[in-house]
Chain A
Amino acid sequence: MNPSILRTDGPGRFGGYGGQFVPETLVPCLQELDEARLAAAADPSFAAELALLSADYAGRPTPLYRARRLEQAWAPRARLYLKREDLNHTGSHKINNCLGQILLAVRMGKTRIVAETGAGQHGVATATVCALAGLECVVYMGQVDVARQAPNVARMRLLGAQVVTVTAGSATLKDATSEAIRDWVTNVKGTHYIIGSTVGPHPYPTLVRDFQAVIGREARAQILAKEGRLPDRVIACVGGGSNALGIFSGFLDDPVGLFGVEAAGSGLGHSQALGRGRPGVLHGSYSYLMQDDEGQVIPAHSVAAGLDYPGVGPEHSHLKDSARADYRGVDDAAALAACAEVSRLEGIIPALESSHALAFCKEQLAKEDPHAAPLVIVNLSGRGDKDLAGLTEATP
């Protein structure tokens, strides 16, 4: 468990996980960000500005859609709802966080934004809000992801962002994140780092969760309005964990089962920091981590670029240890199959990341007592257009 040399208290701690394990150069600007975040939270005009953009620019609230054809195919007695984050402007939940952070960056007087991206969804959302705010934007993306998510690279460039290809290490999200941190250390004065998930040093895990919590607030109100009761369970995929914490946070204090789905990958490897890792420090926080006996980070693997990360947000580590949430794995093949099935049955092409949550939903329903009639919400975190090249290879 928590090695005795680490603090278990203080801000940004989730039951001993979290913290601020970064070079000293960055600590003062993390403190500045924390102050800006708290000032914004106390300022009604910030909330009003964000709500207006969320509605008129991003298209919130997103629908909670009852997927009847999936119910018929998977479990006729179940009631299955999809929280349609894919319908956000830019095609995923990532815009929720980016809108919030760009408003903070402007308030802090920053003129330049850096970000990392895996699937390219966070990169596109960042490039979008930078266009909106008129700020310079540099996005770091691993070479492997640049190749497999080409449409998003083109979108970022069209939006005016500079996309920097990272060739170091595994050339995926982990290495893009390291490179974004190095840029930030170098250009710290005028630059804000819009991290794309509930990872990194404090205050990011809290900040990103709070901007994603709109998913859970809406979903809770919507399910109560439609069904008159809370769901039995909520399912979301977990990369760094932002869409999952966004929806979980609406139900944490309720008797609702919370399921996070990590990528079990294939023979090439996996991305199950929570399922198969052990606590350690990467990219600024103490959390479950894929690492070898020497404490070297093991590269992740997943068909879904957005899940292809060896770490996970510290709050998930706490939810795991406290058994408030359950974390399971779904492999590449099952995710690809779910993507194809949901596309054909519902006319919705889910992102490969979200397809992991859908595949788990199906698997769990298949194991259930056929007389049970569970009420389930799956967070459909993004749309799959970006994955078309890989999907058409995989599905005949």
Chain B
Amino acid sequence: MSTLLTRTVNGLRDAGRTAVVPFLTAGYPDLQTSRRLLAAAAAAGCRLVEIGVPFSDPVADGPAIQLASRRALDAGMTLAGAVDLAGHAARELGLVPVLMGYLNPVLAYGPERFGAACAGAGVAGVIVPDLPLEEAAGLRALLLEHGVSLVDLVAPTTGPGRLAAYGRAATGFLYLVSTTGVTGAGVGQDIAGYAARVRTHCALPLYVGFGIGDAASAVRVAADADGVIIGSALQRLVAGAATPDAAVAAVGGFLQEVTAAVAGVHRDSG
């Protein structure tokens, strides 16, 4: 099925561009700075952006995103607020936003209402890290009715049978978790072999995330992926910045460095 996300990622792939996708926790360090960080991402040439919906108990996340989630919740961020922020990114900045958040806030908000809100805001995809294949069918169908892709994650532990099933169910891109671990822990070994194994089961563009901490590892991953997703490294830059201005400058500079480095990568797979 053709969704906004499918069209966007296929367009990038056809243009020979490896996507650099920043992950930014909504409302971290505060809503105003969140907007400026998204603008910095757009200015750095990013097209897709992941907006993290904070949750009280993020079991798939390491310390950097845990901290960002906690702070964002303390500052009053909600699922509705994250959808609004995504709408701002789409409308005002021309970005294609993908939301990433745990299941419970979606259940509390109401899945049907959530699907409609996503469509209204221009959200292209939704990533739910605690919703594996067997549990995902209901939300996947509901979101697709609204033209929104549910983006699936696969892991190094995912065997051939499950990869094939994901390949049949997924739309947009497939999210390859680079390593067995939480976010921010470092990129796994042999991304080339891993990506090749997944490609035998799935024709979708492959985006690799979890643990891409600098331009060098982004370049390494970009050789075998259609997109690289950078999360913890950005939240660490925000955490380490003394002021919102410094955070925006640090994130913008980092993304410019990564997009430039990745643009120079020649890729012959995919």
Contacts and interface: CB of A to CB of B under 8 A. Distances in A.
Interface of A: 3-7, 10, 19-29, 168-169, 174-175, 178, 181-182, 185-189, 279-284, 289, 291, 293-297
B180 A282 contact: no
Contact of B111 (A3, A169, A174, A188): A3
Interface in B165-181: 177, 180-181
Contacts of A293: 108
Q: Is the interface of A mostly helix, strand, loop or mixed?
A: mixed
B104 A289 contact: yes
Contact of A294 (B58, B108, B129): B108
Interface stretch (B42-50, B59-67, B193-201): B59-67
B111 A186 contact: no
B104 A4 contact: no
A182 B66 CA distance: 12
A185 B132 contact: no
B105 A19 contact: no
A25 B155 contact: yes
Contacts of B57: 169, 174-175, 178, 282-283, 297
B175 to A, nearest CB: 9
Interface residues of B, number: 48
A185 to B, nearest CB: 6
20 contacts: A3-B107, A3-B110, A4-B112, A7-B135, A22-B132, A24-B132, A24-B152, A24-B155, A24-B158, A25-B156, A169-B70, A185-B181, A185-B182, A188-B157, A280-B104, A294-B105, A295-B55, A295-B79, A295-B104, A295-B105
A186 B107 contact: no
Contacts of B78: 294
Contacts of B158: 24-25, 27-28
A6 B136 CA distance: 8
Contacts of B139: 5
Contacts of A25: 155-158, 177, 180-181
A188 B56 contact: no
A291 B104 contact: yes
B111 A29 contact: no
A188 B180 contact: yes
A21 B131 contact: yes
Contact of A189 (B59, B70, B154, B180): B180
A5 B111 contact: yes
A19 B73 CA distance: 27
A295 B180 contact: no
Interface in B132-188: 132-135, 137-139, 142, 152-159, 162, 177, 180-182, 185
B196 to A, nearest CB: 19
A24 B79 contact: no
B84 interface: no
Contacts of B104: 280-282, 289, 291, 295-297
Tell me which of A20, A168, A181, A295 has the highest count of chain B C-beta atoms within 10 A of its own C-beta. A295
B103 A168 contact: no
Nearest to B66: A168
A25 B133 CA distance: 11
Contacts of A283: 57, 59
A28 B132 CA distance: 11
Given A10-B134, A23-B59, A24-B158, A182 B107 contact: no
Contacts of A5: 111, 138-139, 142
B130 interface: yes
Contacts of B131: 21
B180 A24 contact: no
B93 interface: no
A290 to B, nearest CB: 11
A178 B60 CA distance: 9
B62 A182 contact: yes
Contacts of A182: 59-60, 62, 182
B79 A294 contact: yes
A185 B180 contact: yes
